[in-house]
Structure formats: C-alpha cells, structure tokens
Amino acid sequence: MKPFPLRISSKVRQAIDTGKPVLALESTVITHGLPYPQNLEYLTDMETEAEKQGVTPATICVLNGQALIGLEQQDIDLLRTKVTGKEEIMKLNLRDLGLALAAKKSGGTTVSATMALAYQAGIRVFATGGIGGVHRGWRDSRDISLDIKALSVIPIIVVCAGCKAILDIGATLEALETEGVPVYGWQTSEFPSFYSRKSGHRVTQINSAQSVVQAFNLMQALKGVHSGMLIANPIPAEAEIPFEEIEPFIQQAITDAKSISGKALTPYLLDHLAKSTEGRSVKANLALLQNNLRLGAELAKEMT
C-alpha cells in the first residue's frame, strides 16, 4: 500500500528531520469556526506566536487536492482567496480525506482529520480550540462527532479548552471514557466548557508537561492501545464568558438551528453566537486558541 500523500512544508520538514518540536494546528477553525477577517488574522498570529514559543507550527489543511502539513506563503495566499468566499472551501473530517484528495478539493480539516494527517507526518502534539463531541439532543439526532472516535484510535495529544458548551458535555465525557480516551484538566479538576472555565463536570487534574508526556508514553507502551489523549486547558479568566451569561445565547442558537443538521450544525451555532454576543464569543475563542497554543508548545517541547 502506498502511503497517504502529504506535502510537508520546508520549515516543518526541517524541524522533523532535526528532531525539533512541531505543533499541529487545525484549519476548520479558520474556514468554518471564526468569521472573516478574524480567521485570517488568527492564521498569521498563530504562526508568529508558535515561533515565539520555540515550536514550528504545522497548520494542516487540504488545498486543491493536496494534504498540507505546514503552509508556505503561497498556500496562505490561496487560503485567503478561498475563505473570502471567492471559491468553495469544505469542512473535511477524517472520513472525507480520501475523496477530497481524489477529487482535488480544498477544505479546512477538523480535529479528526487533523489528527490523522498529523500522525502520518510524525507529529504527536496538536492544539485546537474545542473538540467536537456529543450534541445536545443526541438521543434523537445521534449526532456524535468523529473527533471522539479519532481520539480513541490516533495516538496524539490534543490540547483544547474543553468542548463547546453547545454540546452535551456530560455525554461527551462519558463517550470519551467509553472509547478509552484519557482526559485531563490542565491544573484544574473541573472540565472547562470552552467560553467558560467551568462546566460542573469533574476530571482528573494534571499539573506538569512532564506528567502529561510520561502518561502519554506509558499509554503507548500498553500493547494494543493506540488512543490519543485530551488535555483540557481552561480559557484565561480575563477572557471568560461565564456559563450563566453564554447559556441563554446557546439556547437561542439551538432553537434557531432546528432545520440544520450534520456538518453544518457546529459552524451554524458558532456563527449565531458570534452575532448574538456581538463578537464577544469570537474574542473569547481567539483568546483560548492562543492559550492552547502556548500549552501545546510546552508539551511539544517536553516531547522532544
């Protein structure tokens, strides 16, 4: 079997070859998670911040049928034209990757797709905003993100700010347990809920990068186990939107989303929140992304 084709950027290639820390970043947050132009600002800010933290950033996406690990300037320019709405850009999860390449499509990669591609490239740490999970109303819709499955079969450490409060957080944590995914709270014993530091759900606390990497390596040493690991890093206190404040906006978004399902749901809800909170949710989103990048960088450095 031929290996899945990847195009690794020159900077990422060099870092991998010389054993320097590399941090994977996803791109659905750029194509479908944040509004324009904040999404493009995020892209450049993140790349700069990663370098500042001493890691090589590997933003992962699919452009014109090529799976990219790390972006060159021309890729950033191309992504820019695509997200300004001039061309079609898809939301690609893990199961979409084969056809996306075969049919020469372009798309942002979700957590599941980014994990798969990062693993192919030999990257072991990945920072995102929030993972997908079990949607509220899952009893009827059965909407459970492929991110959960990916975390159970791809050995990568994923740093997130918890799962979005638009989900059923308790059910998401239960699903992660069923799938054998270790979930740890970064210096907290409460699972954060993306915009808020709290959720009312308990997790095991972990306090140092060394403990994370040791625990991860020991899990990998268990024969037959290939699960990833989820590190939940609460949003910085100054950027937080308290649970009680954001909840009514979420309720409204879910009510208005009645006719929306499948892949379109998460982007719809995020967009709804951005509008109803007058940009406050976007600000919080950017703050937690940056915070996760810093922790991801620390873990990537510990890993090497």
The two tokens of residue 81 are 């034209």
| Total of residues contacting Mn ion (CB under 5 A) | 1
Q: Tell me which of 82, 91, 105, 164 is the catalytic residue.
A: 164
* Residue, CB closest to Mn ion: 143
Residue 298 binds to Mn ion (criterion: CB under 5 A): no
The two tokens of residue 37 are 């132009």
The two tokens of residue 68 are 């990219």
| Total of residues contacting ligand PSU (CB under 6 A) | 17
CA distance 125 to 134: 23
DSSP 253-269: HHHHTTT--GGGHHHHH
Residue 266 binds to ligand PSU (criterion: CB under 6 A): yes
Measured CA angle at 135 (ends 244, 292), to 5 deg: 65
* Cα 294 to Cα 18, 143, 203, 215, 239, distances in angstroms: 22, 31, 21, 20, 16
* Residue, CB closest to ligand PSU: 33
| Residue 11 among the catalytic residues | no
CB of 269 to ligand PSU, least distance (A): 9
Residue 196 binds to ligand PSU (criterion: CB under 6 A): no
CA distance 234 to 237: 8
Interacting span for Mn ion (CB under 5 A) from 142-150, 163-171, 173-181, 280-288: 142-150
CB of 208 to ligand PSU, least distance (A): 26
Interacting span for ligand PSU (CB under 6 A) from 46-54, 128-136, 225-233, 249-257: 128-136
| Residue 26 among the catalytic residues | yes
Applying CB under 5 A, among 47, 96, 143, 240 the residue interacting with Mn ion is 143
Burial of 150 (0-12, 13-18, 19+ CB in 10 A): buried
φ/ψ (deg, to 5) at 135: -75, 150
User: For helices 146-153 and 169-178, what crossing angle results, to 10°?
Assistant: 30
Residue 147 binds to Mn ion (criterion: CB under 5 A): no
Residues of this chain that interact with ligand PSU (CB under 6 A) are 26, 28-29, 32-33, 110-111, 129-130, 132, 145-147, 263, 266, 270, 285
Q: Which residues are catalytic?
A: 26, 164
